[in-house]
Amino acid sequence: MAFLTDRKRAVGLGSAKSGVEHFWAMKKSSIALLILVPFFVFTFGGALGGTYEEVLAYYSRPFPAIIAALTIIVGFHHFNMGVQVLIEDYVHGLAEKVAILLMTCLSYGAAAVGVFAIAKLAL
């Protein structure tokens, strides 16, 4: 009979290296989205249903353009972190690394396209 401490039983079963950091990053981005999404809905509502020229004039102002860009950036960053957790939980091995890499490229690429579109409208 082996007398193992709880610590010895847990060795090799994983560690808490970046879990807390990731948890707080998710909390911070969700609080930021809690503030940004209502602002985005109200600013986007002013441009909804307008002609192209009206929308272009509306997003030429700095406040709606900044709110839209921040919502896109924070939203896709939050999406990336959430999908990374799902992939880490349900996919293992090489497929896990490939899926995380592809999802990171997809989410940040979509964010870049969104910010480029807002910048194109604003400038």
> How many structural domains is the chain composed of?
1
* Residue 4, domain member (yes or no): no
* Residue 46, domain member (yes or no): yes
Write out pLDDT tens, residues 98-114. Answer: 999 999 999 999 999 99
Structure tokens at 1: 């009979």
Report the CATH number that the domain containing residue 40 is assigned in CATH: 1.20.1300.10
What global pTM score does this model have? 0.83
Q: What is the rounded CA–CA span in Å between residue 73 and residue 107?
A: 10
Per the structure, the complete domain to which residue 101 belongs is given by 20-122
* Residue 79, domain member (yes or no): yes
Write out pLDDT tens, residues 5-18. Answer: 777 776 765 555 66
* Residue 14, domain member (yes or no): no
* Residue 116, domain member (yes or no): yes
* Residue 43, domain member (yes or no): yes
Write out pLDDT tens, residues 25-46. Answer: 999 999 999 999 999 999 988 8
For residue 68, with 0-12 CB atoms within 10 Å meaning exposed, 13-18 middle and 19 or more buried, which class applies?
buried
